[in-house]
Amino acid sequence: MEKRIRQYVVLINEDNMRLDEYLAYKIARFSRSRANSCIRAGAVSIEPYRQVRPALKVHTGDIVSLSQTMSGDVPMYDEVVLLDETPDFWVFNKPSGMAVHPTANIYHNTLTRYVETELKCQPYIVHRLDKETSGAMIVAKSAEAGKALDALFLSREVHKVYEAVVYNAGGRYFPGAQSDIDIPLGFAGMVLPRITMGVGDLEAHTHLECVDIRGELAWLRVQIHSGRQHQIRVHLALEGTPIIGDKLYLFGEAFYKAHLDGGDVPMYAPHRHLLHAARLSFSFKGAAYDYVAPVPDLMQTVFKAEISQAMFPTEYSKLFRDR
């Protein structure tokens, strides 16, 4: 297994933080409990040298090093599909299982590393997809183009369409049915992991159209008019119709934490959640662009198979059903 050393120089605004708090602050999706485990396992060192412990205070100019074993960080570069390239940006069909940015556990298997290593360019990320969400992604080629494209997303001038297979609780959806979800979102407070979203103060609007139903499943075409973290996944879970295969919002918090620690996905469930970014449409520098990323075969396979064993009420949706 490959070893990687990550080093961080403590900045003035980080002075006097606890070491475990500092690591959780610096590394995305890295909890203080995980930082504690790494410290106690001897994977963390500090310069100037002191004996490390979770409560050790870091100071401006200190160099904190974290040694990590990169298990499971296998690049999926051969599965990335280039949909288009212009002088200002690329459009990729990102595979499920590839992260966009490096995280505490993943360095190589990211879209940013793909661009850096395979295309030998500096990527400028202007929007994101969850690791398990496949589909169309724009990556800018320059800071200037990235800023302009980012402004399009922020001003909601990019039309985004997703495809999702969900648990059709109580026959809520039927072919041709349309509905809107306007539940403000935010981080879910004391719920762990910290990335979990719930009802909050940030405006979030999701439009749903049911394309088809099969057994206890519904195929939804989804449009979002805002871009909150996990927006589609959270909104559908709050409605009691979570996305099939969603390890957090369908299976629940306890399962998700066990999965992160290496636990198995139930044999009857798909290995990924069935959400796909199918279409991006926008205008840029006077030209109109419209990109379609083909829906993965797995989504059709699961939908046609009518896998009912995976359908059970989620811990997460129960938290907010009586909002």
Model confidence pLDDT, tens digit, residues 252-265: 666 666 555 555 55
pLDDT for position 69: 64
pLDDT for position 36: 87
- Let me know how long the chain is: 323
For the chain, the average pLDDT equals: 84
Q: Is the pLDDT of residue 226 over 90?
A: no
Q: Give the pLDDT band (50/70/90) at residue 222.
A: very high
Q: What percent of the chain has pLDDT over 90?
A: 51
pLDDT for position 179: 94
Q: 176 in helix, strand or coil?
A: coil
Fold of 3-69: 3.10.290
The CATH H-level (homologous superfamily) assignment of domain 72-155 is: Pseudouridine synthase (3.30.2350.10)
Give yes or no for a contact between 115 and 80, defined as CB atoms under 8 angstroms apart: no
Mean pLDDT of 259-275: 64
Q: Is the dihedral of CA 251, 257, 260, 266 positive or negative?
A: negative
Backbone angles phi, psi at 131, to 5 degrees: -55, -45
CATH of domain 157-323: 3.30.2350.10
- Domain(s) of CATH 3.30.2350.10: residues in the chain: 72-155, 157-323
Task: Read off the tokens for 184.
Answer: 């403000």
Residue-wise pLDDT for 298-309, tens only, equals: 899 888 876 554
pTM passes above 0.85: no
Give yes or no for a contact between 224 and 316, defined as CB atoms under 8 angstroms apart: no
Mean pLDDT of 249-254: 68
Q: Which carries the bigger pLDDT value, residue 270 or residue 115?
A: 115
Q: 258 in helix, strand or coil?
A: helix
> Of 83, 141, 100, 97, whose CA–CA distance to 229 is shortest?
100
- Domain(s) of CATH 3.10.290.10: residues in the chain: 3-69
> Of 36, 80, 44, 85, whose CA–CA distance to 63 is shortest?
44
